[in-house]
């Protein structure tokens, strides 16, 4: 009878028996707790990248490091005003003309106030005149039409306003000649009719002075103002005999 032959055991890595499998937690048994200073920083779910973990006790201000971005390089801020005087002058004039028409003198005063050199300002303003962006004659004509229709100003007051805006005398004369005496007197009658009711209850002389003074402030000649006011008072039944010829 033959005995069974045993297979020889081949050498190999030893297997260390692990802890017995247990169900549920058991007091006194479990992984060794990790100290707080040695734990890895947790990252938000779905976050990519992020700053590297700081070593324990690291402080940027104390260590001389900073995570702030470096200061910008010196120079004009992006989108700021141009540094070239001619470019600045053009930008200033275009901005002012966008709001409303201006005379050459008004633009020159604005450039001088912003310290644009005179020779640069003259060159830019002349160029604007060449292309029609500055037109003092058209400005004066539009000013006369608008101010006479909207405020009831007469030729004398309109000429005074245009002088303050730097319009040349010849251009002022041409502009105010758009208003003839008949149109001026018709506007004066409209102004008196609007104010006449507010003067009712006053004596005749006070009404005359108030209405004629209103026309004088708007630039109407004294003779025209007195004639228009007297006719308006007569139409209301006032006795105008013996009224002063001046006020």
Dihedral sign for Cα atoms in the order 87, 89, 90, 96: positive
**pLDDT of res. 43:** 53
**pLDDT of res. 237:** 81
Higher pLDDT, residue 175 or 239: 175
> Residue with structure tokens 């007569």?
234
Higher pLDDT, residue 105 or 9: 105
By the 8 A CB rule, do 143 and 162 touch?
Answer: yes
> Residue with structure tokens 């060159």?
123
**pLDDT of res. 27:** 47
For the chain, give the number of residues: 247
- Across 38-66, average pLDDT: 54
| Contacts of residue 30, Cβ cutoff 8 Å, sequence gap at least 6 | none
By the 8 A CB rule, do 187 and 214 touch?
Answer: no
DSSP conformation class of 40: P
| Cα Rg of the chain, angstroms | 47
Q: Is the pLDDT of residue 17 over 60?
A: no
What is the pLDDT confidence band of residue 201, given thresholds at 50, 70 and 90?
Answer: confident
pTM score? 0.63
DSSP conformation class of 212: H
* pLDDT tens string 124-136: 999 999 999 999 9
| Contacts of residue 197, Cβ cutoff 8 Å, sequence gap at least 6 | none
* pLDDT tens string 151-166: 999 999 999 999 999 9
Q: Is the pLDDT of residue 64 over 80?
A: no
| Contacts of residue 91, Cβ cutoff 8 Å, sequence gap at least 6 | 81, 82
**pLDDT of res. 60:** 53
Q: Is the pLDDT of residue 246 over 90?
A: no
């Amino acid at each position: 009878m033959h005995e069974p032959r045993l297979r020889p055991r081949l050498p190999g890595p030893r297997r260390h028996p692990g802890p017995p499998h247990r169900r549920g937690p058991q007091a006194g048994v479990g992984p060794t707790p990790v100290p707080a200073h040695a734990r890895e920083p947790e990252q938000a779910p779905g976050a990519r990248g992020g700053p590297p973990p700081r070593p324990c006790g690291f402080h940027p201000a104390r260590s001389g490091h900073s995570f702030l971005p470096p200061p910008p390089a010196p120079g004009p801020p992006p989108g700021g005003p141009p540094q070239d005087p001619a470019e600045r002058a053009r930008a200033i004039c275009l901005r002012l003309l966008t709001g409303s028409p201006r005379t050459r003198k008004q633009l020159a005063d604005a450039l001088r106030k912003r310290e644009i050199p005179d020779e640069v300002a003259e060159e830019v303003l002349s160029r604007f005149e060449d292309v029609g962006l500055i037109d003092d004659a058209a400005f004066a004509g539009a000013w006369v039409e608008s101010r006479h229709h909207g405020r009831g100003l007469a030729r004398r007051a309109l000429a005074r306003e245009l002088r303050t805006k730097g319009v040349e005398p010849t251009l002022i004369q041409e502009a105010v000649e758009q208003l003839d005496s008949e149109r001026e007197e018709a506007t004066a009658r409209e102004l008196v009719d609007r104010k006449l009711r507010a003067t009712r209850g006053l004596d005749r002389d006070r009404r005359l002075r108030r209405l004629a003074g209103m026309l004088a402030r708007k630039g109407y000649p004294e003779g025209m103002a007195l004639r228009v006011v007297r006719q308006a008072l007569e139409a209301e039944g006032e006795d105008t005999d013996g009224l002063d010829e001046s006020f």
